A and B are shown apart, each in its own frame.
Chain A
Amino acid sequence: MTKKEQLVNLLRQDARLTNDQLAAMLDTTANDVAAMTEELEKSGMIIGYTAIINEEEFDKNSVCAFIEVRVSPETECGYDDIAAIIAQYDEVSSVYLMSGGYDLAVTIKGTNLRDVAMFVTDRLAPLAGVLSTTTHFILHRYKEKDKMFLKNTDERSLVSP
């Protein structure tokens, strides 16, 4: 693995490691880490850093949904235009083009159930090109971005040989 790949893996595990700490782990200098990070950011390989929030704990009323969207692709630009339109809404947290039974997988987040329902019926469904939507509400999270929401998954004893 190259140093850059190792750096990406470490940031994936914990983006709050300082350049000093990263440098120690990668046998290099903090300046070198800063330069590599900047390069990764400029080239678009790293597009941001964010905390993984346990939304259920943070706001008990918040609702997230996963929506299957079928769309009719346009001759010129395929799915890109419609995906870009959907992606620009603040409620939308992710948009993926999918293989299989539908085209776009959209996750959205609202402060309550009504918010989400209104977003789908008022904004998403009426969009030109959208053929159908199927909304699935997220009931509970177990794992996100490699991190488990379950507590105490470490079954080792506190002290051992």
Chain B
Amino acid sequence: MDYENILSKKVQDLQFSGIRKFFDIAANYDDVISLSVGEPDFKTPWAIRKEAIKVLEKGRTNYTANSGLAQLREAINDYLTDRINTSYDPSHEILVTVGGSEAIDLAVRALVDTGDEVLIPQPSFVCYSPIVTLANGTPVIIETSVEDGFKLTAKALKEHITPATKALILPYPNNPTGAVMRRNDLEEIAEVLRGTDIIVISDEIYSELTYGDEEHCSIVNIEGMKERTVLINGFSKAFSMTGWRLGFAAAPRPIVTQMLKIHQYGIMCSPTISQYSAVVALKDCKKDIEYMRNEYDMRRKLIVKGFNEMGLDCFEPEGAFYIFPSIKKTGLSSQQFCEQLIEKYRVAVVPGDAFGECGEGYIRVSYAYSLQHIKTALERIKLFLEELGVL
């Protein structure tokens, strides 16, 4: 059969994620010490796992309502009220999804018609552009730079807005850079958007991993923005629940209503066991989150110091669990650097260009690992840099 002719041209033209490609390379080597995962090393807190066992014992394994268990939507609302001082109507403005990724997909598909433009700041997570393409929209990349702390600036935003602009993805705290948009940064963005019909899709999956004295600020906290924002968050990163596949979206009722339709036909409902367990996560696990955040914070400082001492300029990340050092002084491309590092010293990090062309010259390094693991990896990277003659 001639599959090339049979299969969708649009889908065939999509590239596999650059992270995925590098995974295939890394899988060829033994004894690899990895600094490349995008998931926590902590186990899901025991209270959550225990709840899942209880749910199974009771045989609560049916579908839930399409939009998610009522008690979970209420718990999500309580959580948002507590954390970002904003409340939603749990019946109509909150939708429980299969991870934050599904929520992003739903939001884009609910908003975008053919030819609509969606603004995507990069470097950023790999899914936004393909999702927009699949929805027949046009991804419009806004490149951010280390000079701006990898933040989206009002100036760059204005330059990319056209009459066709439908939505802006706001991926902060950012994977892979660790950049965070603070309140004053968001005020500037809001100033540009308030008079428009542009909807913000705010991917705040790393919100609980914001470091420093200032707490996470959501764009919905800025005046006039809640009505034009789809807030996306989930359980994977904050609660170490990646495999449970659970996220949520909170947005004005008309948007959630359309998202719900797509979710209803494509997914039916999020995993029931995960949903029950997530209620416990939101209600009883605040201390666990704090503990994990504190551990990440100390590792962050250790690894930033390590890279700076090796002479690789490292932008100080304020969120998530990645650092994004520049490797430009080595003269290698991101791909070359990562391939040689794994080939010669068996350390896996992700090439920065996997997160957009402007990520070229950088590498993404995850610190979701034990201190000993991080120290060993740093020692190996140091040897590599010595061999390259840049240290």
Contact = CB atoms under 8 A, between A and B. Distances in A.
A13 B370 contact: yes
Interface string B63-79: 00000000000000000
A159 interface: yes
Given A21-B302, A24-B302, A158 B375 contact: no
Interface stretch (B30-38, B108-116, B157-165, B218-226): B30-38
A62 B350 CA distance: 44
Contacts of A43: none
A20 B34 CA distance: 24
B298 A159 contact: no
A interface SS class: loop
A117 interface: no
A27 B301 contact: yes
B5 interface: no
Contacts of B20: 159
A156 B39 contact: yes
B294 A158 contact: no
Contact of A160 (B37, B302, B304, B371): B37
A158 B36 contact: yes
A26 B301 CA distance: 8
Contact of B23 (A6, A21, A157): A157
Contact of B37 (A6, A17, A158): A158
A50 to B, nearest CB: 15
B125 interface: yes
A17 B303 CA distance: 12
- How many chain B residues sit at the interface, stated as a range, is 20 to 34
Contacts of A26: 298
B22 interface: yes
B371 A159 contact: no
Contacts, number: 66
B377 interface: no
A158 B305 contact: no
A39 interface: no
Contact of B375 (A14, A159, A160): A14
Nearest to B126: A161
Given A13-B371, A24-B305, A160 B19 contact: yes
B360 to A, nearest CB: 18
B8 interface: no
Contacts of B304: 24
A123 to B, nearest CB: 38
Contacts of A27: 301
Interface string B307-349: 0000000000000000000000000000000000000000010
Interface residues of A, number: 19
A159 B23 contact: yes
A26 B39 CA distance: 24
B39 A21 contact: no
B26 A156 contact: no
- In this complex, the member of A10, A20, A159 whose beta carbon has the largest number of chain B beta carbons within 10 angstroms is A159
- In this complex, the member of B22, B294, B301 whose beta carbon has the largest number of chain A beta carbons within 10 angstroms is B301
Nearest to B34: A158
Contacts of A1: 294
Interface string B38-71: 1101000000000000000000000000000000
B372 interface: yes
A125 to B, nearest CB: 41
Given A14-B371, A21-B302, A159 B294 contact: no
Contacts of B350: 159
A154 interface: yes
Contacts of B126: 161
Nearest to A27: B301
Contacts of A154: 41
B152 to A, nearest CB: 21
Contacts of A6: 294, 298
A35 interface: no
A76 B372 CA distance: 47
A157 B37 contact: yes
B49 to A, nearest CB: 14
Interface of A: 1, 6, 10, 13-14, 17, 20-21, 24-27, 154, 156-161
12 contacts: A17-B371, A25-B299, A156-B37, A159-B19, A159-B26, A159-B37, A159-B350, A160-B23, A160-B37, A161-B19, A161-B125, A161-B175
